[in-house]
């Protein structure tokens, strides 16, 4: 059976968070845009980001300081030109949001030149975090989606899960240009084709590959997996960031306790009430996330403890309620009064620092395909992301990609219609339990063998098991009608394979990648990026912001 549900747009944006919506809004005055959201428009990670947006707005701060803090957190693997590009453009990104009407927290003593309250987070040498109380992501998401929903040139497709990118190979070409995508209408089960001159991947990260994560359910590495299958290189996939402080409670599902709690003086405590971070790093609780996460993991394993505790009671109830209203109310709902007692916390998979290799305009190895935000490997984060650089990256590269798309206008070429999705010989599965079982097994393998602390033997075991899962999933995918659970499992298994292979290749401990077989950082040579090249590599090399054939 063939399906004939098809759409034509100038630009197809896959993802409806800060990266996708900012790009869509920037190009929409010039072209028709479709935005695919795999769930509701606000289901992505942006809506859950608590911290803020790093930007140099204080006269006592400097772009150079923001750059150096980012480079230091990235453990020698950041691309300096990318870091400088993002830091320079950060203030403009904040001003753009302010012009759109976002409700950022103001400083009552600030002047017209710098009206925002600035907080400080781990790894930052200055107060430079612009925020909307402790729910900045929600404020960004609400502001951008309001603008997008009201824009006449933007059409939002909710509950559409992208299946695969389509290259011109489907139209008789060489497979070097992206011409659209197939997507599953989750509500109806039908597959639609989206024909587009330009496709923007803004699908977020892949932290759902781990059993414990701070991310929403949709963080299944869809964009990374689709780009890999389409012929794009990926980089630095071994660097999965584990947030040190996720709320530990049997009914709490992945609720994050913001970095800003430590930034404002919160102390990490063992179950007996003693501090421990000073034994691991002179910066204590303000050390970068990888150091804090490993320290917590070490203490939990040493003591056999289920969690550690984060205490900010010394700041007083009024301060806590004013600065952390969302965290306060959520914890209170679970019977924890953070104004009077410490919060139980554990590390959880939080952010994918690597991704689809791009240049400084978000361009990938496929002509007509861009990757923005957490799914992209821009070189900004290196071996560890600095706090509050993530929303910033979405906004800066959304602007850069949009300008690149606009500068290429007018585009006169028209593509032929994409071939309809073919379901010939495909049947409905009567064994969905297989998908559920493989999903659980994959995430357990990744948590147990490819987590905060790794060994070569564990990685090899994980590789063997993931290879078996991939073969099962491929067979299942080829015989049964696609579902959202199957598609997400397929993508997660691809991402798991990429993470494991990258980790096996890195014979050192650097940033977020720590292995007991190579516990020291190798500074004997120039630090190298881990770049994986697919067998069907598209053949367009992105190097230092330029195209190289």
Does 289 participate in catalysis according to the annotation?
yes
CB burial readout 455-480, b (16+ within 10 A) else e:
eeebbebbbebbeebbebbeebeeeb
Strand partners, 515: 454
Query: Is the torsion defined by CA of 70, 73, 79, 82 positive or negative?
Result: negative
- Are the CB atoms for 10 and 198 separated by under 8 Å? yes
Token pair, residue 548, equals 């190289």
Q: Where are the beta strands (DSSP E) in 333-454?
A: 343-352, 355-357, 369-371, 376-377, 421-422
Task: List C-alpha distances in Å: 123 to 64, 67, 292, 409.
Answer: 14, 12, 11, 41
DSSP state of 60: T
Task: List C-alpha distances in Å: 532 to 236, 237, 340, 525.
Answer: 9, 9, 49, 20
Cβ-in-10-Å burial (0-12, 13-18, 19+) of 414 comes to: exposed
CA atoms of 415 and 291, how far apart (whole Å): 50
Residues whose CB is less than 8 angstroms from the CB of residue 150 and which lie 6 or more positions away in sequence, other chains included: none
| Sheet (strand 376-377) strand order | 376-377, 355-357, 234-235, 531-532
Looking from the CA of 24 toward its CB, the CA atoms found within 13 Å total: 32
Q: Are strands 267-269 and 240-247 parallel, antiparallel or unpaired?
A: unpaired
Nearest to 230 by CA among 196, 301, 179: 179
Nearest to 190 by CA among 507, 482, 544: 482
Nearest to 28 by CA among 159, 150, 161, 205: 150
- Are the CB atoms for 67 and 344 separated by under 8 Å? no
Token pair, residue 179, equals 């011409």
DSSP state of 440: H
Q: Which of 120, 177, 289, 465 is catalytic?
A: 289
Output the DSSP codes for 267-303. Answer: EEE-TTS-B-GGGT-TTGGGS-HHHHHHHHHHHHHHH
Residues whose CB is less than 8 angstroms from the CB of residue 171 and which lie 6 or more positions away in sequence, other chains included: 179, 415, 416, 418
Task: List C-alpha distances in Å: 225 to 162, 174, 467, 499.
Answer: 11, 20, 15, 11
CA atoms of 401 and 24, how far apart (whole Å): 10
Instruction: Bin 221: left if φ > 0, else alpha if -120 < ψ < 50, else beta.
Output: left
Catalytic residues: 289
């Amino acid at each position: 059976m063939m399906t004939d549900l098809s759409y034509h747009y100038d630009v197809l944006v896959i993802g409806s968070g800060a990266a996708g919506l900012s790009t869509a809004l920037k190009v929409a005055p010039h072209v028709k845009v479709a935005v695919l959201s795999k769930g509701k428009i606000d289901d992505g990670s942006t809506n859950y980001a608590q911290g803020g947006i790093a930007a140099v707005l204080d006269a006592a701060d400097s772009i150079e300081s923001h750059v150096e803090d980012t480079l230091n957190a990235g453990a020698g693997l950041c691309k300096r030109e990318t870091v400088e590009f993002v830091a320079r453009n950060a203030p403009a990104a904040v001003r753009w949001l302010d012009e759109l009407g976002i409700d950022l927290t103001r400083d009552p003593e600030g002047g017209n030149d710098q009206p925002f309250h600035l907080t400080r987070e781990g790894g930052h040498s200055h107060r430079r975090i612009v925020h909307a109380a402790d729910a900045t992501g929600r404020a960004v998401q609400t502001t951008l989606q309001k603008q997008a929903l009201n824009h006449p040139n933007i059409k939002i497709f909710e509950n559409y899960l992208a299946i695969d990118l389509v290259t011109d190979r489907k139209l008789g070409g060489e497979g070097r240009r992206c011409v659209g995508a197939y997507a599953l209408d989750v509500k109806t089960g039908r597959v639609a084709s989206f024909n587009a001159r330009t496709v923007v991947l803004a699908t977020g990260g892949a932290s759902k590959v781990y059993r414990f994560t701070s991310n929403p359910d949709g963080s299944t590495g869809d964009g990374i997996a689709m780009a890999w299958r389409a012929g794009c290189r990926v980089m630095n996939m071994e660097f999965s960031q584990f947030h040190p402080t996720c709320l530990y409670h049997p009914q709490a599902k992945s609720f994050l306790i913001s970095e800003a709690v430590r930034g404002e003086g919160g102390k990490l405590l063992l179950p007996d009430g003693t501090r421990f971070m000073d034994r691991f790093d002179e910066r204590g609780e303000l050390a970068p996330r990888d150091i804090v996460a490993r320290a917590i993991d070490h203490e939990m394993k040493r003591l056999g403890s289920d969690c550690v505790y984060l205490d900010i009671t010394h700041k007083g109830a009024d301060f806590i309620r004013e600065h952390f209203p969302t965290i306060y109310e959520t914890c209170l709902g679970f019977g924890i009064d953070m104004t009077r007692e410490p919060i139980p916390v554990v590390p959880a998979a939080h952010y994918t620092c690597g991704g689809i290799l791009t240049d400084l305009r978000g361009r990938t190895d496929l002509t007509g395909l861009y990757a923005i935000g957490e799914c992209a490997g821009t070189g900004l984060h290196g071996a560890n992301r600095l706090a509050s650089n993530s929303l910033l990256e979405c906004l800066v590269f959304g602007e850069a990609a949009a300008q690149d798309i606009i500068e290429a206008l007018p585009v006169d070429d028209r593509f032929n219609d994409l071939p309809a999705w073919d379901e010939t010989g495909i049947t409905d599965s009567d064994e969905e339990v297989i998908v559920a079982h493989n999903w659980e097994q994959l995430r357990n393998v990744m948590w147990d063998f490819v987590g905060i602390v790794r060994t070569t033997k564990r990685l090899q075991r994980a590789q063997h098991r993931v290879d078996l899962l991939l073969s099962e999933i491929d067979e299942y995918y080829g015989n049964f009608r696609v579902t959202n659970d199957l598609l997400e499992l397929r993508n997660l298994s691809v991402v798991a394979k990429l993470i494991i292979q990258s980790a096996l290749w890195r014979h050192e401990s650097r940033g977020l990648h720590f292995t007991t077989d190579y516990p020291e950082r190798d500074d004997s040579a120039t630090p190298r990026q881990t770049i994986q090249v697919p067998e069907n590599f598209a053949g367009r090399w992105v190097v230092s912001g330029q195209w190289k054939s």
